[in-house]
Structure 1
Amino acid sequence: MRKSVKFSPEVVERAVRMVFEAEGQHESQWAAIESIAAKIGCTSETLRRWVRQAERDQGLKPGPTTEEQQRIKDLEREVRELRKANEILKLASAFF
């Protein structure tokens, strides 16, 4: 199994910007994505996901922004912790 490569936020931002700038030079956005993905060393699907998230962050496409996704993730973690604490308290109250 291949180890996934972590790209820095600067590389991601630059690659997405390159796709937006190169769209007019290619027949489609996908063609631009494939061309640029080969240049930066990531898969086309990875770059496509970065581009779609950037479009959501800029309000060009519907869907949760990066900030909203992080907030949801934080809230889900908090709910898990509270449920765990609630179970502990239920068990403790049953013991006494």
Structure 2
Amino acid sequence: MSKKSNTSKRYTDEYKKDAVDLVRSSGRTVADVARELGVSTEGLRGWVKQAKIDRGEGPVGALTTAEREELQRLRKQDREQQQTIEILKKGLAFFAKEMK
């Protein structure tokens, strides 16, 4: 009995771009190209969808790859700043108690 790995494969941006270009230029279905490349059909379908959004052909309000990366960076920065604020508050409370 074989076990499936719970870790997903990571593909380079160049590999994803080439796979999307193959779908667009070949006229074949996403499923056919995915099978040929050995990638998941849903994964390739997502890459194709994101490429359309990045080209400005997606639905209104859909985030481009650059916007998604920026949002992720800003959320991480916000979390770090919130942690810093909490540490400073605790430090202030500690020293305020010591000064009494």
Amino acid at match of 2:50: Q
Query: What TM-score do you get using the length of structure 1 for normalisation?
Result: 0.85
The count of aligned residue pairs is: 89
Partner of 2:19: 15
Which 5+ residue runs of structure 1 have no aligned equivalent?
27-31
Query: What TM-score do you get using the length of structure 2 for normalisation?
Result: 0.82
Q: Please tell me whether Structure 1 or Structure 2 has the larger radius of gyration of its CA atoms.
A: 2
Amino acid at match of 1:66: T
Alpha-carbon distance in 2 for matches of 1:10, 1:84: 36
Between stretches 2-11 and 63-72, larger displacement belongs to 2-11
Partner SS for 2:57: coil
Report % sequence identity. 34
- Structure number with higher relative contact order (C-alpha < 8 Å, ≥ 6 residues apart): 1
Partner of 2:98: none
Q: Once the 2 structures are TM-superposed, how far is the Cα of residue 13 of structure 1 from its aligned partner? A: 0.8
Which 5+ residue runs of structure 2 have no aligned equivalent?
96-100
RMSD: 1.2
Q: Which has the higher helix share?
A: 1
Partner of 1:33: 30
